Structure 1
Amino acid sequence: MLQESGSASVLDPLAPIAPQLFRALRDRIIHNDLPPSSRISETEIAREFGISRQPVREAFIKLAGEDLLAILPQRGTVVRKIRYEAVLDARFLREAIESDIVRILASTPNETWLTKLREQIEEQRAAMDGRPEDFFALDDRFHRTLAAAAGKKGAWRLIEGLKSQMDRVRFLSLVHFPVPNLVRQHEAIVEHIAKADVAGAEKCVREHLREVLNDLPKIAASVPGFFEMPDGDAPRPVNVNIQGGDDQ
């Protein structure tokens, strides 16, 4: 577990170091504390955390696997820009997985899980007037719980690996982040599951996941140095009408 000790960052010596370091650096990149194009050094990170360079190298390789770092031979390591197309691809894949998850849940509603989800929504409601970044953890927990309720914890782990680019965009859009809308959408998803409305639950989760990226073109235009844009015209997020059971 990462702790703060004065100005130094401290890792739990009783737990594996590389995974802790990966999570700590991943959080810094996603929160834009390490913004795109920042240089990052194995030596400096090892010194900051008081560890050898081997776990740092392991963490860097894993971060590069999520397109968060670019390891450039002879030139060092830099934080990658947010790949615009990767954000859309991640949303597409996440929507496909989570729409199946809610279909499973709505086909056989379970009152124990529904109670847990409703309790989480109440916590989200209480946090609506707080900082949007504090809401993100509650949002992730809600979606992780949906996956667990469907017996698909492995699917959520896959989603976590996919959504790092989406999360970077979320932290760039804090001022305009639609927290009240997202809470209402969570509630609608749960109520459609409770009514065994498979098509309705799927429609709600698809709309919900598309909401987050509505402002993607505007965000990319406001901080162009943060994004790696495709050649030609940038594709736009999908905003077509969604019919339950239909894909984009």
Structure 2
Amino acid sequence: MTLLEAKFHDKRLTMADEVFHQLRTDIITLRLIPGAKISEVEIAKKFGVSRQPVREAFARLSEINFLLIRPQMATRVRKISIPDIKDSRFIRTAVEVEVARRACASIASHDKDALSENLIEQRHIMKHGDFNQFQEVDYTFHQLICNAAGCGPAFRSIEETKSQVDRLCTLALQDIAGMAEIYDDHLQIFEALCARDEEEAVRLIRFHLARLDDTIAKAREYHRDYFED
């Protein structure tokens, strides 16, 4: 047993979680690029653990289509699949539309305050151009809408589908203009929710998620090798 594994008192799944979340972040932020080889031995050495928790983390990453594991061949970071992206967008749209409807009916003053504070944070981060931080507060914005709707668990579904899109956004939106578009969408969605304008909130959610088509086109133009044929 390594020192790091001993720290977790033989809670192997906990160590596997650590490896999984770090590798998932590395893939989303393109520190591990699509198509790159990845080795259980090297990752185990990097984290100071045995291969078992790494193997478990690899299996979980394969299940969410982030790794391509083939017997007798090198494991690779899976390239971006446009069909997977569009399937994820379909599911997310269905969930977020219903969440927006409920939020319009149930949003309370403390929800408005939390969303307003989040938008202030988005604007601050946008001015400094830190896209990774912006992604985090983007996540929180959508989570706060779920909370306002009384549908906190719905965010888990959104989070699962959103992870498929995050690499794409990292490729295409790492500039002030891209963040400004997202911020403006969020601001309008917030205003529609505060006004309890269900029709407008749903329209804005659909429009916001439809931006993905332009994001795909922009990313493929400059990074075609990162996409599956």
Instruction: Give TM-score, length-normalised by structure 2.
Output: 0.89
Q: Distance in 2 between matches of 1:177 and 1:215?
A: 12
Change (3 A) 1:102 1:61: same
Match of 2:147 in 1: 148
* Counterpart pick for 2:41 among 43, 56, 66: 43
> Residues 150-178 of structure 1: CA distance to partner in whole angstroms, max 9, x if unpaired?
23232211222222221000111114752
Would the alpha carbon gap of residues 39 and 192 (structure 1) be closer, same or farther in structure 2, given more than 3 Å must change? same
- Hey, what's the Cα distance between the residues in 2 that align with 1:35 and 1:127? 25
Aligned counterparts, 1:61-140, within 5 A? 61-130=59-128, 131-140=130-139
Which residue in 1 is equivalent to 2:205?
205
Give the match's secondary structure for 1:37: coil
Alpha-carbon distance in 1 for matches of 2:207, 2:199: 12
Is this contact kept in 1: 2:27–2:66, CA < 8 A?
yes
Report the 3-state secondary structure (helix = DSSP H, G, I; strand = E; otherwise coil) of the residue aligned with 2:126. Answer: coil
2:102 match: secondary structure: helix
1:212 offset after TM fit, Å? 4.2
The separation in 1 between residues aligned to 2:6 and 2:165, in whole angstroms, is 29
- Give SS of 2:121's match: helix
Cα deviation for residue 86 of structure 1 reads 1.0
Q: CA deviation at 1:110?
A: 1.2
Shift of residue 76 of structure 1? 2.9
Cα displacement string for residues 142-199 of structure 1 (whole angstroms, at most 9, x for unaligned residues): 1111122223232211222222221000111114752122212212111111111111
* Distance in structure 1 (CA, Å) of the matches to 2:180 and 2:6: 37
Rounded Cα–Cα distance in structure 1 between residues aligned with 2:223 and 2:177:
16
Aligned to 1:217: 217
Match of 1:237 in 2: none
1-structure distance, mates of 2:85, 2:27: 15
Spell out the pairing of 1:184-203 with structure 2 (5 A cutoff). 184-203=184-203
User: What is the total number of aligned residue pairs between the two structures?
Assistant: 220
Structure 1 unmatched ranges of 5 or more? 1-9, 230-248
1:60 aligns with 2:41: no
Percent identical? 35
Which has the larger displacement, 83-92 or 204-213? 204-213
- Which residue identity is paired with 1:64? S
Residue type of the alignment partner of 2:45: R
- Match of 1:55, as an amino acid? P
Which of the pair is proportionally richer in helix?
Answer: 2
- 3-state SS of 2:59 partner: helix
Match of 2:181 in 1: 181
Partners of 1:13 and 1:190 lie apart in 2 by 44
User: Would the aligned equivalents of 1:11 and 1:49 in 2 still touch at CA under 8 Å?
Assistant: no
Query: Using the alignment, how far apart are the partners of 1:96 and 1:206 within structure 2?
Result: 9
Instruction: Give how far 1:38 is off.
Output: 1.0
Q: CA deviation at 1:73?
A: 0.5
Would you tell me which structure has more strand in proportion to its own residues?
Answer: 1
CA–CA separation in structure 1 for the residues paired with 2:197 and 2:96: 15
Counterparts of 2:124 and 2:179, CA distance in 1: 11
Q: Which amino acid aligns with 1:154?
A: P
Paired residue secondary structure (1:82) = coil
- List gaps (5 residues or longer) in structure 2: none
Question: Which shows bigger deviation, 168-177 or 27-36?
Answer: 168-177
For residue 121 of structure 1, what is the amino acid of its counterpart? L
